[in-house]
Amino acid sequence: MDKFTKITSMAIPLPYKDVDTDLIYPAQFLTSISRQGCGKNLFYQLKKKDPAFPFNNEKYKNAQILVADYNFGCGSSREHAVWAIYDAGIRVVIAKSFADIFYSNAAKNGLLLVTLPDNIVDNILRDAQSNDVRLTVDLEEQKVTLPDGSSVSFPYDSFSKHCLLNGLDDIQYLQSFHDEIASFFEKKNESRIFSTLSANN
């Protein structure tokens, strides 16, 4: 998993409520078990239905920040939805709220979800639909810098923050304590041997 660094990017506006995982990544593509390449099917139905949909717009090709309304990622628990967003180059999703399972899946796959106050999100969505809006997201400081130079803080749990900043998934996080774990079992083994020797004497 890539380490998360401070990101400055144009914001892709998605002014929809209750965007579910089927809309993000349709069930017809769930036969794939690879994370690579699934980004091409991100919002497949919306892209096909609406030529003006933001993800059909070339100017957002390299954008890394997606801004949505509330309850983003609701519906089924399919992890493919997170994979598709990440594979499409998105590193941050900003919204008023997120579905719990989607939030958990995102943190484990390197995707940062940022919850901001309703009025801030509304302003970003409104401005981004008519102008190019650039935002800076700093996970280490836990703040988003807005186009006017002001910043707003966002909550984020310390464990997920540590993993994202260091590029660690759950397994890699455990492996990072390899020396401590090895030392623990070594001392435990030494203690067992000492107890056995003492009992024999």
Distance, C-alpha 182 to centroid of its chain: 32
Distance, C-alpha 45 to centroid of its chain: 22
Tokens matching residue 91: 């590193």
Query: What local confidence, expressed as pLDDT, does residue 36 receive?
Result: 86
Give the E-state strand segments of 109-154 in sequence order: 112-115, 134-138, 143-145, 151-153
- 42 pLDDT band (50/70/90 cuts)? very high
Q: How many CB atoms lie within 10 A of CB 131?
A: 9
Burial 47-74 (b: 16+ CB within 10 A, else e): eeeeeeebbeeeebeebbbbbbbbbbbb
List of residues 6+ apart from 191 with CB closer than 8 A: none
CA distance 52 to 47: 8
Q: What is the pLDDT of residues 117-131, one digit of tens each?
A: 999 999 999 999 999
CA distance 157 to 142: 10
CA distance 20 to 43: 10
Rounded average pLDDT over 132-161: 97
Helix orientation angle between 158-166 and 100-108, rounded to the nearest 10 degrees:
30
Query: What local confidence, expressed as pLDDT, does residue 193 receive?
Result: 59
Q: Is the pLDDT of residue 176 over 60?
A: no
Rounded average pLDDT over 54-61: 95
Nearest by Cα to 7 from 90, 75, 74: 90
